[in-house]
């Protein structure tokens, strides 16, 4: 299977709002598996369809140590958040940059499976943070939006410069990113 191209900030396509998935078919499962492969190859722990320029409410996640417990979230929606925490985040769409972001340590959310059946779930810790980060992507928001305008602008300029020079950090040179 081939990997998909990940968009990089400040690409305006990352600001698109993903559309609800209404067709649950083999094509959706194929897309989810391509996204998962792309995430693994890119050393990520989460990837939203918007990051690969697909306007669907689809997320793939794997926060397991052995990278063998993937989650597929279709039309995910958080309905309860508790216990704010601050943690350092990175992003596959903002390669090589990390900063502190405030999120919730405990969440309750619902998500559909590949047959379109919705179910309620709970998550905590890294998984909860990752889900919040990826749902932000589905809503056109990036972790850099939690930073000051000055920091965000500096990151955008640095990424544009590195990209123009063909020097964006390679996948093997960066730690895991959401």
If one counts every other C-beta atom within 10 angstroms of the C-beta of residue 83, the result is 11
What integer pLDDT is reported at residue 17 of this predicted model?
A: 98
Pairing state between β 46-48 and 94-112: unpaired
pLDDT at 83: 97
Q: Exposure pattern of 110-129 as b/e (b: 16+ CB <10 Å)? A: ebbeeeeeeeeeebeeebbb
Q: Which tokens go with 11? A: 């690409």
Domains and CATH numbers, the chain: 12-167 (3.90.45.10)
The predicted-structure confidence for 101-114, as pLDDT tens digits, reads as follows 999 999 999 999 99
**Residue of 5, 27, 65, 134 with catalytic role:** 134
The answer to whether residue 134 is catalytic is: yes
Stretches where the chain sits below pLDDT 70 are 1, 169-178
Query: What's the pLDDT at 172?
Result: 47
Rounded Cα distance, 87 and 134, in Å:
15
Tokens representing residue 54 in the block: 């697909």
State the DSSP H helix or E strand holding residue 78, giving kind and residue range, or none if neither.
strand 71-91
Q: What is the DSSP string of 8-57?
A: -TT-GGGGPPPBPP---SHHHHHHHHHHHHHHHHTTBSEEEGGGGT--B-
Sheet strands side by side (includes 46-48): 46-48, 58-61, 71-91, 94-112, 118-124
For 51, the token pair is 């990051």
| 48, 23 Cβ separation under 8 angstroms | no
Give the pLDDT of residue 178: 61
């Amino acid at each position: 299977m081939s990997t998909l191209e990940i968009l990089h900030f400040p690409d305006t396509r990352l600001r698109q709002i993903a559309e609800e998935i209404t067709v649950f078919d083999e094509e959706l499962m194929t897309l989810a598996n391509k996204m998962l492969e792309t995430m693994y190859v890119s050393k990520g722990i989460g990837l939203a369809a918007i990051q690969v320029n697909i306007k669907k409410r689809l997320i793939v996640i794997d926060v397991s140590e052995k990278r063998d417990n993937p989650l597929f979230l279709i039309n995910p929606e958080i309905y309860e958040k508790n216990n704010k925490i601050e943690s350092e985040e990175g992003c596959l769409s903002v390669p090589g940059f990390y900063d502190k972001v405030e999120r919730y340590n405990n969440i309750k959310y619902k998500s559909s499976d590949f047959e379109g059946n919705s179910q309620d779930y709970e998550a905590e810790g890294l998984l909860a943070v990752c889900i919040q980060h990826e749902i932000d992507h589905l809503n056109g928001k990036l972790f850099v939006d939690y930073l000051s305008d000055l920091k965000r602008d500096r990151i955008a300029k640095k990424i544009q410069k590195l990209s123009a020079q063909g020097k964006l950090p390679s996948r093997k040179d960066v730690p895991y990113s959401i």
